[in-house]
Amino acid sequence: MKLPRYLQLALVLTAGAVFWSQFADDEISQAPPEAQPVSRSRPAPAKLETAHATRVDLFSTPHSRGQDAAEKPPENDRPEEAAPAAPPLPLQLLGAWWDNSQRIVVLTDGKETWPVCERCRADGRIWIGSSPVNNWILKAVANDHLLFEWQPTHSQQRLELDELQSEPTH
């Protein structure tokens, strides 16, 4: 199979450009600063190392985000005592029902369920100040969210109620 003349020429020019680009960067970086060309269109970055050191994962998963955070070097040179972060809230919304215009939200941790209500007579009910799961305390009940506090660090997390905010129409 014989390549047409224009494809042969394009192949030779491409190979020459690749060969030249491999050695042209080394010559510029090894030249003294006075001999290096000056670009007037945009300033050169202060640190070339930092441009290559940062990596952005466009398709990250929760597992890979945890690994990336573990790989990051500390920002300060002196070691500091890092405050323990609160774990993710182990409770999830299971649903809600309305009884006499009172909303009763049902939470679960995958094993047990708890109704969140102030004046109901349900078994195992929880309200503000209750601790359904170890170290998590219900701090506030709002129309659009429940606020829980992680006791060891006193950090708070919201559990959004989304479509469970209003009574369904019949």
3-state SS string for the chain: CCCCHHHHHHHHHHHHHHHHHHHHHHHHHHCCCCCCCCCCCCCCCCCHHHHHHCCCCCCCCHHHHHHHHHHCCCCCCCCCCCCCCCCCCCCEEEEEEEECCEEEEEEECCCCEEEECCCCCCCCCECCCCCCECCEEEEEECCCEEEEEECCCCEEEEEECHHHCCCCCC
User: Does the pLDDT of residue 141 top 80, yes or no?
Assistant: yes
Mean pLDDT to the nearest integer, 135-160: 93
Residue 106 pLDDT > 80: yes
Least confident of 28-42, 99-113, 127-141: 28-42
Give residue 118's pLDDT band: very low, low, confident or very high (50, 70, 90). Answer: confident
Q: Is the pTM of this model over 0.85?
A: no
Per-residue model confidence as pLDDT tens digits over 21-56: 887 765 555 555 555 555 555 555 554 444 455 666
Task: Name the least confident of 21-30, 79-88, 109-118, 138-147.
Answer: 21-30
